[in-house]
Structure 1
Amino acid sequence: MQDNVQPENAGIQKVGISALIGSAIEWYDFYIYGTAAALVFGTQYFPSFSPVAGTLAAFATFAVGFIARPIGAIIFGHFGDRVGRKNTLVLTLLIMGCATVLIGAVPNYSTIGVWAPIALTAIRFIQGFAVGGEWGGATTMVVEHSPRKKRGFYGGLPQMGVPIGLVLSTAVFSAVSALPDDDFMSWGWRIPFFLSALLILVGLLIRVKIEETPTFAEMAKAGGKAKIPFKEALVHGWKEILLTAALYLGHGVLFYVITVFVLSYGTSELGLPESLLLTCVMIAAGLEILLVPAFGALSDKLGRRTVYIAGAVGAIVMAFPFFAVLETGSPILIGAITILVITLCHAAMYGPIAAWYAEMFGPSVRYTGTSIGYQIGGAISGFAPMIAGVLVGTTGGASWPLGLMWMIAVGIGIAAALIAKETRGVSLTAKSHPSDSSATEGVEVENVESL
């Protein structure tokens, strides 16, 4: 089996665009939920709670999606490593899109009572379940199609989906939030969820036209599929799974705190205008769109670890200053520090990890291993807004616990980066892949097409 035998222009652009669009839709769906949880769900679905308790309950439903993600990673990882990357990605996108549209249609508490929060939580779980198989498949697809020396750059394309999804969701919510308050709270907030249907249609039309990766096709032809990818990933790649989860914590906690929790904290605790916070996040995310693949490309030159740690150190330095600047209320300073943290610190950490994750695992468990590690980290990070809310509530609105939580999470990411192997340029094939023993020995495989 040869590694990346295809020429660079043989479909990689189409695959990259497909992964980018799918990822953008994924994160659009997730961020509109996060924004709605911060601004709407507390009063619409938990009206009998106090304002603080209602917001915490809304953030709890946000976290439910992250609990579902590792489950989705296991299930869809199995299909991705057994049936193929492409078909599994079509399925995850379809399920994710349907769930998002249904969230917009859930009646509020005043209409159906307790069934409203129950339905919201259940559909959120389904949405998270589908997302669990999306990122690992998209990045695996791109990296396995990429030339060896440009995996960081092309792996950064699906990573662009995060800021793109954030820009789209923030722009749409900014538009509907301009409605009169009564209209926004009764029906305006639902529009972003319904608009997801159009994005899903575009994504599906593009995704069904891409080809399966050469790595998977050759592995299947040679009889190298794992019988139970989840089992093999745990037995032979458990260390890599833990490291990928820890790497996620480094960037995930700070990002969810800024893009989800601060919307609630800034408006309720600091009295900042909602429009100011949404605008700052949208501008920062717009700039990050270009910087994520740039940092991915830089990791092709300097190494995944070097670029990640550089961004993480910057994030550590900015932890306490970020909240101190929020307390000043200055739009210019708030905008500047938000842009700085997202475009430099977060982008440097997030840009290289698609290639880094995929390079850690052998082809027989690559979809499963990357998905599980990423989604475990995501599940833990998903509780960050809720934990932050508890910290603020128990300390009388003090911001120092938020900075401390931020620093601890990034510190965990730095520790993982120091432990993890530098994988830039490694082979992606089963016979020579050095980072995952399941790729070279001890793997149960079979040369059949059945599940």
Structure 2
Amino acid sequence: MSSDSTFSDAQRAQARKAGIAALVGTTLEWYDFLIYGTAAALILNELFFPSVSAAAGTLAAFATYAIGFLARPLGGLVLGNLGDRVGRRAMLLLTIILMGVATTLIGLLPTYASIGVWAPVLLIVLRLLQGFGAGGEYAGAVVMSVEHGNQSRRGAAGAWAPMGFALATLLSTGIFQLVVLLPDDQFRAWGWRVPFLLGFALLFVGYFIRRHIHETPAFENARELERQGAAQPARTPVFAVLRENPRSFLVVVGARFAENGFAYLFPVFAVAYAINEVGLSRQTTLLAVVVASAVQLVAIPVFAIVSDRVGRRPVYALGAALSLVWLVPFFFILDTGNTLLVMFAMVVGLGILYPAMLAPQAAYFAELFSTKTRLSGFAFAREIGSVLAGGFLPLVATAVLAWAGHWWAVVAYMSLLTALTLVALAFGPETRSTSLTETKQDPTLDEAADLELT
């Protein structure tokens, strides 16, 4: 890895721009999905599915939430290939437009009372568009920031993107915390639309920043090697990943199960559980998420820096295991209905333990792939994990809670997801010292990892 002395002022300036662009873009990505998840828990069931029971309406709202995740692997496949063939910058400009426009239009949608069945149909279409754009956003933002960043501190460089999750949770929940203070009739009439319409501001800022970022040195180097004939371009990068390096692909998919599951259990399902099952007020529950997200903004860079020193896998695995252990006391505390205890439970789970998975993940997933397939492999594998874990988490958790009548079934489901993640990490290589810039025909990561171990 390069040292600080070889990192010029110009490189440092580009790294800073790439980091800010990653922060803004992933904030918009997660903001889109989290405001939808929060709205699904609070109001969308009544506005878009009023002809069914309250429980069925909640399931239907969470089902449309999950539908957005079905489009993410397709977005990862198409946009990831675009980013590996055309460039990281062009792809990231496209993703932020797709997500921002879809989110804004959701805030303008007529409800079931106005246009009948067309309301949920249009909602589903916009969720699919949202998911397609998000499928390439996070991977592209991480790859851009990691490839531009100081190579001796890639964990810290990659932390910009996951910090977008914390900031998005803080923004989305904080905004809902304000709009639910409106009189109930105003909240139902127009207040719920405000968080969606504010997504346009993130779209504008993110697009402006990304227009002024250069292409990454690693990508330019790979293109130069191809022009010189020293390396062959991958016509379809994601297929090259599956053929040449299936282990890394499967490691990313498996590692996502616990991380993405907990990402939506705490700020989405737990909010619905606390309101609907425990009887806590919307304000109390959302405030707990806001405070936890503020703590998370500090925890993410800390765990990222630790991963630069001790490795990605140990930090990730510890975060997964401790998050699962905390889940039982977490639900016991929720059931007390005590405001301070509920806030404490959310801070520990969402603010401290979950970031131990999210922080090292960014650099780890980028390091698992070579330059010519990095974005497509990262994006496609990550979004398959999103569908299998996080996308269906609120729906599955709500269903198993209704079936079992107790949260122990949710803990059992999360135990399965965590076990799959720990197995994936056990089979994955440690990548902290892997070079991201090739000087010859790209080796597979398996070969690079073997060389490192010897």
When the two structures are superposed, what TM-score results if normalisation uses the length of structure 2?
0.93
| Correspondence for 2:240 among 226, 232, 246 | 232
Within-5 A mapping of 1:429-444: 429-430=437-438, 431=440, 436=445
Residues 49 and 92 of structure 1: CA distance in aligned 2, closer, same or farther (over 3 Å) = same
Pairing 1:184–2:187 present = yes
Deviations 1:367-394, CA, capped at 9 Å, x for gaps? 0011011111111221010001111111
Query: Helix, strand or coil for the counterpart of 1:429?
Result: coil
Counterpart in the other structure of 1:371: 379
Aligned partner of 2:408 in structure 1 is 400
Assess if the C-alpha contact under 8 Å between 2:143 and 2:366 holds in 1: yes
Distance 2:44 2:132 in 1: 21
State how 1:289-328 maps to structure 2 within 5 Å. Answer: 289-328=297-336
**Structure 2: runs of 5+ lacking an equivalent:** 450-454
Q: Which residue of 2 aligns with 1:330?
A: 338
1:110 match? 113
1:305-347: CA deviations, max 9, x gaps? 1111121221121121111111111111111111011222111
Task: Give the match for residue 29 of structure 1.
Answer: 32
Identify the match of residue 131 of structure 2 among 128, 131, 140: 128
- Measured against aligned partners, the alpha-carbon deviations of 1:123-160 in whole angstroms (never above 9, x if no partner) come to 10000000001011011111111222100011011110
Cross-structure match for 2:171: 168
1:417 maps to which residue?
425
**Matches of 1:42 and 1:245 in 2, distance apart?**
31
Question: Post-superposition shift, 1:357?
Answer: 0.3
Q: Would the aligned equivalents of 2:47 and 2:112 in 1 still touch at CA under 8 Å?
A: yes
CA contact (8 A) 1:360 1:435 kept: no
CA drift of 1:29 comes to 1.4
Deviation at 1:407, TM superposition (A): 2.0
Shift of 1:244: 0.7
2:250 aligns with 242
Contact 2:180–2:282 (CA<8 Å) still a contact in 1? no
SS at match of 1:40: helix
Q: Is the 8 A contact 2:3 2:152 kept in 1?
A: no
CA–CA distance in 1 between the matches of 2:447 and 2:149?
Answer: 22
- Bigger CA drift: 163-172 or 232-241? 232-241
Say whether 1:390 aligns with 2:399: yes
Matches within 5 A, 1:8-157: 9-157=12-160
The percent identity for this pair of structures is 39
Q: Deviations over 1:254-289 (max 9, x none)?
A: 220111112222111111111111010111011101
List per-residue Cα deviations over 1:185-209 (Å, max 9, x = no partner): 1211001111111111011111100
Q: Distance in 2 between matches of 1:427 and 1:87?
A: 24
Distance 1:108 1:162 in 2: 29
How far apart, CA to CA, are the structure 2 residues paired with 1:76 and 1:6? 30
Change (3 A) 1:126 1:274: same
Deviation at residue 175 of structure 1 after TM alignment: 0.9
- Contact kept, 8 Å, 1:319 with 1:404, in 2: the verdict is no
Residues 174 and 278, structure 1, Cα contact 8 Å, conserved in 2? yes
- 1:253 pairs with 261, 281, 285, which one? 261
Distance 1:133 1:206 in 2: 18
User: How far has the Cα of 1:81 moved from its partner?
Assistant: 0.2
Contact residue 244 and residue 444 of structure 2 kept, 8 A: no
Judged with a 3 Å threshold, the aligned counterparts in structure 2 of structure 1 residues 333 and 88 are, in CA distance, closer, same or farther, namely same
Question: Counterpart of 1:350 in structure 2: which amino acid?
Answer: L
Deviation at 1:169?
0.5
TM-score under structure 1 length normalisation: 0.94
Aligned equivalents of 1:399, 1:112: Cα separation in 2: 37
Contact kept? 2:28, 2:199, Cα under 8 Å: yes
Tell me, yes or no, if the aligned pair for 1:3 and 1:215 is still in contact at 8 Å: no
Q: Shift in Å at residue 239 of structure 1?
A: 2.0
Aligned-pair Cα RMSD in Å:
1.8
The secondary structure found in structure 1 opposite 2:354 is helix
Shift of 1:6: 5.0
One-letter amino acid matched to 2:129: I
Among 263, 282, 285, the residue aligned to 2:293: 285
Q: What 5-or-longer segments of structure 1 have no aligned partner?
A: 441-451
Q: Residue 292 and residue 245 in structure 1: after superposition, are their counterparts in 2 closer, same or farther (change >3 A)? A: same
Question: 2:12–2:149: 8 Å Cα contact kept in structure 1?
Answer: no
Contact 2:72–2:135 (CA under 8 A) maintained in structure 1: yes
- Report what 1:218 is aligned to: 221
CA contact (8 A) 1:237 1:369 kept: no
In the alignment, the residues of structure 2 paired with residue 319 and residue 433 of structure 1 have an alpha-carbon distance, to the nearest angstrom, of 42
- Structure 2 counterparts to residues 191-210 of structure 1, below 5 A: 191-210=194-213
Residue of structure 2 equivalent to 1:347: 355
Q: Which has the higher helix share?
A: 2
The alpha carbon displacement at 1:10 in A equals 4.5
Which residue of structure 2 lines up, in the alignment, with residue 449 of structure 1? none
Aligned partner of residue 107 in structure 2, secondary structure: helix
